Amino acid sequence: MVLVFILLAILILILIFVIFIFLSTYRIEIQNAYLSNMNEKRDTKAKFKIVLAFYLFNKIKWLSLKLDEVRIKNLYSKIKLENLDLKKLEKDFNIEYFKLLGKVEVRYFDLKAKLGLVSPISTAFLVSGLSAIISIWLPHVAVNFKKENYKYIIAPVYKHKNLYKIEFNCIIQVKMVHIINVIYLIVKKGRSDENGRTTSNRRPYGYSYE
């Protein structure tokens, strides 16, 4: 009898967890991201950090994970991104997965960038092009658009060199329902590919009689 109650309690906990996942929003917060090949001093107090969190009804944080620079480097070394088979990823990619990008929302966006190319004309086109893309894209993904929460400055550097300095802070989110839908599409595509390979290996007259 006790075992039945334990199993029932476990099932209830699993059910509650699944319900929480379906009703949650997945949020990624990037803090103090910095990339540069320019000899300019960086604020040492600003530490790079990524916060991954689940928010119930987009308000109550019930699960989170913080990754600092050390953890991110360790994770990178374990995953070994340089060994990924890009050709296989391109083959398995499905245009349906872009639907998830349309569901992404941006709660906060702060970008400061200095960019320069060898050609001054290319630099001007790069800076103006990126500024135009961001100005068109942000209003469509912003949550409760407020100017103080969405800032970007992209400045050109004319030194006849390939130079960049990027400081970036951002909070993006997407509902778990949309992520689960994309995962379902990936699993479904994988199974259909396996079934296709299985049936294609059979000879069409393997079971016929002469």
DSSP string, 89-152: HHHH--GGGHHHHTT-EEEEEEEEEEEE-SSHHHHHHHHHHHHHHHHHHHHHHBSS--GGGEEE
* Residue-averaged pLDDT of the chain: 82
Contacts of 92 (CB under 8 A, 6+ apart): 186, 189, 190
Any idea what DSSP says for residue 160? Answer: S
Q: How far is CA 84 from CA 7, 72, 80, 180, 183, in A?
A: 41, 18, 7, 23, 19
Q: Is the pLDDT of residue 94 over 70?
A: no
**Among the ranges given (1-5, 40-44, 69-73, 106-110), the one the predictor scored with the smallest mean pLDDT:** 40-44
The predicted structure's pLDDT at residue 207: 44
Between the CA atoms of 162, 166, 170 and 176, what dihedral angle is there, to the nearest 10 degrees?
40
Q: By the 8 A CB rule, do 166 and 125 touch?
A: no
Query: Which of the four pLDDT bands, split at 50, 70 and 90, describes residue 181?
Result: confident
pLDDT category at 90 given cuts 50, 70, 90 is: low
Sign of torsion, CA 23 108 77 86?
positive
Least confident of 8-17, 134-143, 192-201: 192-201
Distance CA 46, CA 109 (A): 17
Q: How far is CA 9 from the centre of its chain?
A: 35
